[in-house]
């Protein structure tokens, strides 16, 4: 990194990786035949104080799920949605 804030960004990356490992986010498995891996990329965000100075450097590792092909990399999608009557019962 050539940024003047490279040290802070590297610390943010290390913090994110430590969090991912400590939470057990990933499980290492063998890649099944005929399958491809999904790439990932880093997203960086600098949170600012009201005066405009840097408050926090945040790094997130995200999957490039947009590179998947339906019926090849995954089958079917769904969105679990409750019926309105169920929501009303829960609120009552």
* pLDDT per position as a tens digit, 36-49: 788 899 999 999 98
Q: What is the pLDDT of residue 88?
A: 87
Residue 54 in this model has a pLDDT that exceeds 60: yes
Q: What is the pLDDT of residue 76?
A: 65
* pLDDT per position as a tens digit, 8-38: 999 999 999 999 999 998 888 898 887 778 8
State the pTM of this model.
0.62
Residue 67 in this model has a pLDDT that exceeds 70: no
Long-range contacts of 37-44 (CB under 8 A, 24+ apart): 38/63, 38/64, 38/65, 38/67, 38/68, 38/73, 39/63, 39/64, 39/67, 40/64, 42/13, 44/9, 44/12
Residue 1 in this model has a pLDDT that exceeds 80: no
CA nearest to 47, candidates 5, 4, 18 = 5
């Amino acid at each position: 990194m050539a940024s003047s804030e490279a040290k802070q960004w590297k610390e943010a990356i290390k913090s994110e990786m430590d969090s991912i490992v400590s939470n057990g986010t990933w499980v290492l498995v063998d890649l099944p035949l005929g399958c491809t891996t999904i790439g990932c990329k880093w997203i960086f965000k600098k949170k600012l104080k009201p005066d405009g100075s840097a408050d926090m450097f945040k790094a997130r590792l995200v999957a490039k799920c947009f590179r998947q092909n339906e019926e090849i990399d995954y089958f079917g999608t769904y969105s679990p949605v409750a019926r309105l009557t169920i929501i009303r019962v829960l609120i009552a």
